[in-house]
Amino acid sequence: DQQVKQNSPSLSVQEGRISILNCDYTNSMFDYFLWYKKYPAEGPTFLISISSIKDKNEDGRFTVFLNKSAKHLSLHIVPSQPGDSAVYFCAASGNGGATNKLIFGTGTLLAVQP
């Protein structure tokens, strides 16, 4: 049972344009969401998070949007840079903000073309 779904296995974007990565979840108990970025042969690196009491969180070029009614969140990267090329994982937690037992999606491979 995949509680966190990333339905696009890959995405290709031109440098300078906006990248939009999507994530859907099924468990209404999830109240904390995170995005991680992963390069090959490395561990995931935390990017940005959002609590369910918010619908938007912004950090530099990265913005995460949360639509609780649709059980959907998205990560916007603008402008996209070649160094952003990586696998992006969406993760969710239902422990009141606790990040243990994160449930991860299967990832989206982002390729930013120069």
Partner 1 sequence: NAGVMQNPRHLVRRRGQEARLRCSPMKGHSHVYWYRQLPEEGLKFMVYLQKENIIDESGMPKERFSAEFPKEGPSILRIQQVVRGDSAAYFCASLQGNHNSPLHFGNGTRLTVT
Q: Which residues of this chain interact with partner 1, rule CB under 8 A? A: 4, 6, 32, 34, 36, 41-46, 49, 89, 91, 95, 97-107
Contacts of 55 (CB under 8 A, 6+ apart): 65, 66, 67, 68
Q: Distance between CA atoms of 39 and 51, rounded to whole angstroms?
A: 25
Nearer to partner 1 by Cβ, of 77 and 88: the residue is 88
> Which single residue is written with the structure tokens 């070029």?
61
Q: Least distance from C-beta 53 to partner 1, angstroms?
A: 12
Closest to partner 1 by CB, 81 vs 106, is 106
Q: Quickly count: other Cβ atoms within 10 Å of residue 89's Cβ.
A: 22
For the CB of residue 112, give the shortest distance to partner 1 in the complex, in Å. 21
Three-state secondary-structure class, residue 52: coil
In angstroms, give the least distance from the CB of 11 to partner 1.
16
If the CB atoms of residues 15 and 22 are measured against partner 1, the closer one turns out to be 22
